[in-house]
Amino acid sequence: MTNEQDPMLAYNPTNFGTSKLHLLTLPPELLLHICSYLKAKFVIKTLSQVCKALNELVKDESTWRIRVAKRFPKPFPILPADDVFDWQTACIEREEKFELWCEPEETMDHFTYREEIFAPVDAVHLMKNGQLLASGSRDRYLNLIDVTKLESGDPVSVKASKVESLMDAHKGWIWSLASVGNSLCSGSWDTYIKFWDLNAPQLQTVNKIKLKSAVLCMHYEEGELFAGGFDKKTYRIDPRTSSIVSEFMLHKKPVLCMVADEKHVITGGEDETIYVLDRRSNGVLKSINIGSFAMSMCYNDGQLWVGDKTGHIHLLDPKHGKFDVVQSYETGQSGKITDLHNTLGAIFSASTDKTVNVLEPNENPGVISQLKFDMEAASLSYQDNTLAIGCSNASIGIWRPKNIS
């Protein structure tokens, strides 16, 4: 076996043209111990690029499994990790989210946005890697905000961040927002879904479609849009032609939230039932009762999280299309969970009790931090470490890391 075939031979000092002691003459165990004092992101993204020996040392999956277990001892991930689970990314995410949100007043810049907002903000949606924020409110305004223009300690930057403010974008409350690339869609109580071109010099309506009732939730992807209505129906829409492809009467009460993957559409209704729809057959694969009606859903990293009206969150396992309820947890919030977002590093839950909790993404999730508001937290969006909260006091709270790099 050659030196290149066996990376551990690289620790021989003669391989580096000198007999003097240097970093790579240390035993691997000691090198790993030194690395444990450095941020996982630095070790994985930077230190591993120094040489082949360090790269081989760092890429061992067990290194990061052990590191996560030592720093965050509760069982993680909650669902059994499969062969494709990325422990390096998971370790980076867990350390980064904990560092950012353990003391957010020290690590995050906080801005309050009120420009051209005169009513509760029921929909916020971050796009473009967290750089662009859309909001919809009960005053019928659709707002676009350039988050990159916000500067800590500069109130003028809040006004300067306004990109667009469309009065009467709809004739009813704007209740849901979604986007794909440069296409933004908004759903309203006026029964319309509108498609907007983000590339246009001024925000323009590209197309629109009228449903039979208020639009309460949407899932938007390339070539397809699903929407849930107050009329208890789930709509399948072709956004290219703005036509209804099919509609389903699954629920006995309004459809409040939905998510989807490549095979399924999952909807939660006020009838306390969650339905899993098979996209290929258009048939119901499963119905689930969690004991309360679902107010919000988030589906990331192979986990489906559901927030209900009692302040609980529920984890469903989507593997093999089973969507079994694995665990239900208290968030410590006494109100309805109006919005929810999960990542490998944290779970964010917004509530009508005027709080947003940042929770651990493990079994029995503890509270990393709690953000408190003067009014109800009605909507939430999270992307690339930027958090936006739509509030019922006609404002948006925005949190962004102080060290953006």
Percent of residues, the chain, with pLDDT higher than 90: 80
3-state helix, strand, coil in the chain (%, to 5): 20, 40, 40
What is the pLDDT averaged over residues 303-307?
96
Distance of alpha carbon 13 from alpha carbon 24, whole angstroms: 7
In the sheet that 264-269 helps form, which strands lie side by side, from edge to edge? 255-260, 264-269, 274-278, 283-288
Q: Which two tokens stand for residue 175?
A: 């209740």
Domain that holds residue 94: 26-101
CA-wise closest residue to 353 among 306, 296, 310, 396: 310
Distance of alpha carbon 396 from alpha carbon 115, whole angstroms: 9
Stretch (H or E) spanning 41: helix 40-45
Here the CATH number for the domain that contains residue 84 is 1.20.1280
Decide: 177 and 184 in contact? Cβ < 8 Å.
Answer: yes
Higher pLDDT: 80 or 297? It is 297
Q: Which residue among 47, 71, 101 closes a domain?
A: 101
Decide: 340 and 85 in contact? Cβ < 8 Å.
Answer: no
Q: Are residues 121 and 66 in the same domain?
A: no
Here the CATH number for the domain that contains residue 384 is 2.130.10.10
Q: Which residue among 80, 101, 122 closes a domain?
A: 101
Say what the pTM is: 0.90
Within a 13 Å sphere around the CA of 112, how many CA atoms are in the beta-carbon half?
7
Q: Which residue among 101, 135, 153 closes a domain?
A: 101
Q: What is the tally of structural domains in the chain?
A: 2
Within-domain flag for 4? no
Amino acid in position 158: V
Q: Residues 3-53: pLDDT tens digits?
A: 444 444 444 444 444 556 677 778 888 888 888 888 999 999 888 888 888
Higher pLDDT: 286 or 4? It is 286
Q: Are residues 200 and 302 in the same domain?
A: yes
